């Protein structure tokens, strides 16, 4: 089977509430050396909606030494800013840009969504970031085809949804784009269902496990490693999704991860200790050694 695109939505490290480029690059390079192909900047796991345009561009510049492996999330409620970020990304010659649809405001006309992606993709080919639970809009295959008919240059879609029917419909009915799963729980499914890749927040800390899923997708060990990753992702949710990932990176990789941006507060020492204890129990359960 052809190797799938492995994409990690990088956490954004902060020091004194400012983006820490040095920590970001060290973590990103560690993940890349661990086998992940693309580094996704300013996604959900990277607190993208809380980042200003200058902060996103600051991160983009930090990874200028490896442009072929970088994707920038430039979607926002301000189309002018999104277009400007896409223009800047084009200057850096990165792999591509991704874009959430306009979020928060519900009731946006379908034709406006089509115009949004059509205008944005005139600057740079776009990977649609479909996250219905948080944006209020589900970018289905028929909408993508409307965007393409209107002249939009769509090269892929990240499907952050547990609706596998929608994911497979996009794969079947939209030609010439790459379809990526978003939930960590669907990495194994991406291989077995013939999708193009996956975007895995858990790969910030569990990239070695993700590679084991890839190496064993056709046998029962693939299931075991997927279940292991699922339990780790569940622990992340238990102790505070986003914030807990910073601690899990340090626990599993030994690489400094910095702090999240408030209101995502750093875990207390008590919570970190309890999280690490539960992680070790999961490792033992699946006979996994760091």
Catalytic residue among 26, 33, 122, 158: 158
Q: Would you say 141 and 169 are in contact if contact means Cβ atoms under 8 Å apart? A: yes
Distance CA 281, CA 117 (A): 45
Residues 6+ apart with CB under 8 A from 34: 207, 208, 211
* Residue 259 DSSP class: B
User: Beta strands of the chain (E only): which ranges?
Assistant: 5-9, 14-15, 18-19, 38-41, 70-73, 96-99, 126-130, 154-159, 178-181, 197-199
Taking residue 192's Cβ as centre, other Cβ atoms within 10 Å add up to 12
Q: Cα–Cα–Cα angle for 232, 233, 237, nearest 5°?
A: 115
Distance CA 182, CA 169 (A): 16
Distance CA 287, CA 146 (A): 48
Give the residue among 31, 24, 21, 23 at the shortest CA–CA distance from 208. 31
Distance CA 62, CA 76 (A): 21
Is residue 149 annotated as part of the catalytic site, yes or no? Answer: no
- The residues annotated with a catalytic role in the active site are 158
């Amino acid at each position: 089977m052809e190797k799938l695109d492995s994409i990690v939505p990088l956490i954004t490290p902060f020091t004194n509430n400012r983006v820490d480029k040095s920590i970001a690059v060290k973590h990103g390079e560690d993940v890349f050396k661990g086998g992940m192909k693309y580094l996704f900047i300013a996604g959900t796991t990277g607190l993208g909606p809380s980042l200003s345009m200058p902060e996103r561009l600051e991160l983009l510049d930090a990874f200028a030494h490896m442009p072929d492996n970088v994707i920038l999330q430039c979607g926002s409620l301000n189309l002018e800013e999104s277009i400007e970020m896409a223009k800047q990304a084009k200057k850096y010659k990165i792999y591509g840009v991704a874009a959430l649809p306009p979020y928060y405001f519900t009731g946006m006309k379908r034709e406006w969504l089509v115009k949004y992606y059509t205008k944005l993709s005139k600057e740079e080919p776009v990977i649609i970031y479909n996250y219905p639970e948080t944006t209020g809009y589900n970018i289905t295959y028929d909408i993508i085809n409307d965007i393409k008919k209107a002249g939009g240059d769509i090269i892929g879609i990240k499907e952050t949804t547990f609706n596998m029917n929608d994911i497979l419909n996009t794969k079947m009915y939209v030609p010439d784009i790459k379809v990526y799963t978003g939930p960590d729980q669907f990495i194994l499914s991406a291989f077995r269902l013939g999708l193009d890749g996956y975007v895995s927040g858990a790969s910030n800390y569990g990239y070695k496990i993700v590679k084991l899923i890839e190496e064993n997708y056709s046998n029962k060990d693939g299931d075991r490693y997927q279940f292991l990753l699922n339990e780790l992702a569940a622990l992340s949710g238990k102790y505070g999704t986003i914030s807990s990932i910073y601690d899990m990176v340090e626990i599993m990789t030994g690489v400094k991860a910095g702090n999240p941006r408030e209101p995502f507060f750093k875990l207390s020492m008590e919570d970190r200790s309890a999280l690490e204890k539960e992680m070790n129990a999961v490792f033992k359960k699946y006979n996994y050694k760091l």
